[in-house]
Amino acid sequence: MTINKSLRIVICGTQVPFIRGGAEKLVDTLTVNLRERGHIVDTVMIPFQWYPNENILPTALAWRLIDLKESAHNPIDLVIATKFPSYFINHPNKVVWLVHQHRASFDHYTTPYTPFKNISKDHKLREEIMMYERKFLAEAKVRFAISKNVADRLDKFLGLQAEPLYPPLIHPHKYYNLDGKGYILSVSRLEEDKRVDLLVKALAHTKSGARAKIVGTGSQMERLKQMAEELGVSGRVSFLGFITDEELYHLYADSTAVFFAPWDEDYGYITIEAFQSGKPVITSTQSGGTLEFVEDGINGFVTDGSPEKIAKAIDNIFSKPKLAAKMGEKGFEKVQSITWDHTVERLISTCK
């Protein structure tokens, strides 16, 4: 289906001041791609405060105070909501492209990654959040999810269905491939649930002498550096912190493989970026959305998440350069069908 007319579209997202991740980049890129196709687009971002727990619902419900049915006496044809709690917005033509729900209330509940405690006050708050999530997500004309993993969570916890719609890369043409220079690349926020520590631990078990370059910042930086020192691998690990996009493209291109094994990732741009660069990916069976792309022994390795098995995968790739190259080719083929033309067409499909 082709939409010939120019639509007035608002994309709703959540912005934590001074923090930008995949969800924020997704909003920016969607905006650009809709405008390139002739639509009039703007974004509405409301700061979200996830702590203390008492702030969650008031911040989320602020979305219900906003009227986006029109602007300056001109109707708004379509609202596209993304991650929690932007889909609390009320609009007669609301489409949700679900990045993730309030994970602390759903799949992270009872895990170390939730701020909720096993007390009645927190149980009650979780129930309220789930009630509102179900009510406001059910309002959507169409629900998409950025991965099958996110869609499955929605069905499991709320009994609502969503069509998986994979986000394309921002600048796919900027990724390229070079012969690997003997290092494994990690690109991630350095937070506990990203499990970059597994890579540092794995290096201590490798026999190939592989090096690692770790891109990203976060609360675990000093802990990871100390861990590398204690394990005797600090000479083989480089912590690069924040880098430019151009530097990142080169690091992908020049790596031998990419390590990305977070806990139950929603989607994982890193997997797509690695494959677009022609690099195999080492991940784990607990890594969620990455498993929709990484095929064990075909375009990477799916390990059990233990440092020993990750080390074995690293050694396998670094001792067999032809295997690494072949896996990288298979990875590149895997992601070529993820395009903005298809994505935009699906998102505006309610506007016939």
Over residues 99-112, the pLDDT tens digits come to 989 988 888 888 88
User: DSSP code of 48?
Assistant: -
Do residues 283 and 261 lie in contact, with contact meaning Cβ atoms separated by under 8 Å? yes
pLDDT at 22 over 90: no
More confident residue, 211 or 24: 211
Instruction: Read off the pLDDT of each residue in 168-185 and give the average, rounded to a whole number.
Output: 91
CATH number of domain containing 308: 3.40.50.2000
Same domain, 325 and 181: yes
- Smallest CA-to-CA distance from 133 within 51, 54, 61, 45 is with 61
The SS3 assignment for 331 reads helix
Report the candidate in 271, 104, 306 with the shortest Cα–Cα distance to residue 188.
271
178 and 53 in a common domain:
no
The partner residues of 283 in beta bridges, in order of sequence, read 302
Cβ atoms of 311 and 284 closer than 8 Å: no
pLDDT at 10 over 90: yes
- Both tokens of 58, joined, read 């008031």
- What is the per-residue pLDDT for 50? 83
Shared domain check, 161 and 65: yes
Q: Are residues 104 and 14 in the same domain?
A: yes
pLDDT, one tens digit per residue, over 112-129 is: 878 888 899 999 999 999
Q: Is residue 68, in this structure, part of any structural domain at all?
A: yes
**352 within some domain:** no
Task: Assess whether 324 and 194 both reside in one domain.
Answer: yes
Neighbours of 219 (CB within 10 A): 10
Residue 209 belongs to a domain: yes
pLDDT, position 182:
83
Residues 319 and 343 in one domain: no
Q: What integer pLDDT is reported at residue 4 of this predicted model?
A: 63
Q: Is pLDDT larger for residue 19 or for residue 186?
A: 186
Q: Which of 186, 268, 269, 258 is nearest to 228 (CA)?
A: 186
DSSP characters over 242-280: S--HHHHHHHHHH-SEEE---SSBSS-HHHHHHHHTT--
Percentage above 90 pLDDT, the chain:
84
**Same-domain status, 119 and 204:** no
Per the structure, the count of domains in the chain is 2
223 and 147 part of one domain: no
Phi-psi category of residue 278: left, alpha or beta, with phi > 0 → left and psi -120 to 50 → alpha: left
Tell me what pLDDT residue 3 has.
56
Query: Can you give the pTM of this predicted structure?
Result: 0.89
Residue 342 is part of which domain span? 8-169+338-347
Q: Flag whether 1 is in a domain.
A: no
Interval 212-259: pLDDT, tens? 999 999 999 999 999 999 999 999 999 999 999 999 999 999 999 999
> Same structural domain for residues 34 and 66?
yes
Same domain, 90 and 184: no
pLDDT at 54 over 60: yes
Contact 162, 96 (CB under 8 A): yes
Backbone angles phi, psi at 3, to 5 degrees: -95, 115
pLDDT above 50: residue 1: no
Task: Tell me the pLDDT band of 35, cut-offs 50, 70 and 90.
Answer: very high
| CA dist., res. 288 & res. 273, Å (int) | 17
Same domain, 176 and 30: no
Residue 16, Cβ neighbours under 10 Å: how many? Answer: 14
Residue linked to tokens 């990916």: 281
- Give per-residue burial for 110-146: e unless 16+ CB within 10 Å, then b: eeeebebeeeeebeebbeebbebbeebbebbebbbbb
21 plus 83 within the same structural domain: yes
